[in-house]
Amino acid sequence: MPSLEYYQMGEMVASTLPELAEQMDRCLAEWDPELPGAVNVADEVLTAALEAWLDLRAGDELLGRAFRLIETLASHADPDIRDAIQVGVVNWLAGDPDRLQKAKPFMGARTAEMLDALG
Contact between 46 and 88 under an 8 Å Cβ cutoff? The reply is yes
**pTM exceeds 0.95, yes or no:** no
The domain tally of the chain equals 1
Residue 107 structural domain: 4-117
Instruction: Please provide the size of the chain in residues.
Output: 119
DSSP secondary structure letter of residue 37: P
119: exposed, middle or buried (Cβ count in 10 Å: 0-12, 13-18, 19+): exposed
pLDDT tens, residue order, the chain (119 aa):
667 688 889 999 999 999 999 999 999 999 999 999 999 999 999 999 999 999 887 688 899 999 999 999 999 999 999 999 999 999 999 999 999 999 999 999 999 999 999 87
> What type of residue is 114?
M
The H or E element spanning position 100 is helix 97-103
